């Protein structure tokens, strides 16, 4: 959180992006502490597109998509400041790759918490990690496409 606000001092992100980032942080905390009908928000099935063993689409997967949509946009804004105009599609690719790098660090941190703090119940197992990574990729790609299509029209 502090990193994004520090980066904002240098890159002057749009206000809406900072609001979306703040909403993302609030949703992250709510996902772990709010229960609806005895089900933790992260585990709540939003739309039953695919059942066992994948359980798609849960709040967790929608949240990961939203999160890495935002991370890719932040990465794009940072990269854009240092890039030539002719590299716009490369910016999209690198924004996605940066978002995926952040995604992998997040999943590794969850794995460390499973080992160190016995947090397997809180962070899920193999399917959860794999679905998180897929959701992160979808969000990152959508974020890069969005910023290139609707925001960065240079």
What is the structure's pLDDT at 154? 57
| Positions in the chain whose pLDDT score sits under 70 | 86, 153-154
What is the structure's pLDDT at 40? 95
Rounded to whole angstroms, how far apart are CA atoms 32 and 36? 11
User: How many separate helices (H) and strands (E) can be counted in the chain?
Assistant: 6, 4
The residues near 57 (Cβ < 8 Å, ≥ 6 apart) are 45, 46, 47, 48, 49
41 close to 30: Cβ distance less than 8 angstroms: yes
- The boundaries of the domain holding residue 135 are 2-151
Rounded to whole angstroms, how far apart are CA atoms 126 and 106? 14
Which pTM does this prediction carry? 0.91
- Which region, left, alpha or beta, applies to residue 12 given φ > 0 means left and ψ of -120 to 50 means alpha? left
Number of independent structural domains in the chain: 1
What is the structure's pLDDT at 82? 87
Please give the sequence-ordered ranges of beta strands (E in DSSP) within 34-126, or none if there are none: 35-36, 39-40, 45-50, 56-58
């Amino acid at each position: 959180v502090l990193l994004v606000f520090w980066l904002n001092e240098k890159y002057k992100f749009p206000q809406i992006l900072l609001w979306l980032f703040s909403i993302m942080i609030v949703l992250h905390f709510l996902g772990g502490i709010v229960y609806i009908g005895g089900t933790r928000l992260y585990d709540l099935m939003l739309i039953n597109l695919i059942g066992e063993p994948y359980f798609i689409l849960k709040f967790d997967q929608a949240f990961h998509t939203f999160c890495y949509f935002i991370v890719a946009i932040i990465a794009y804004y940072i990269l854009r400041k240092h890039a030539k105009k002719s590299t716009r599609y490369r910016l999209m690719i690198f924004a996605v790759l940066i978002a995926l790098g952040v995604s992998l660090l997040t999943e590794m941190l969850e794995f460390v918490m499973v080992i160190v703090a016995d947090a397997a119940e809180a962070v899920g197992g193999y399917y959860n990690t794999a679905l998180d990574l897929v959701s992160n990729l979808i969000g990152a790609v959508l974020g890069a496409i969005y910023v290139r299509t609707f925001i960065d029209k240079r």
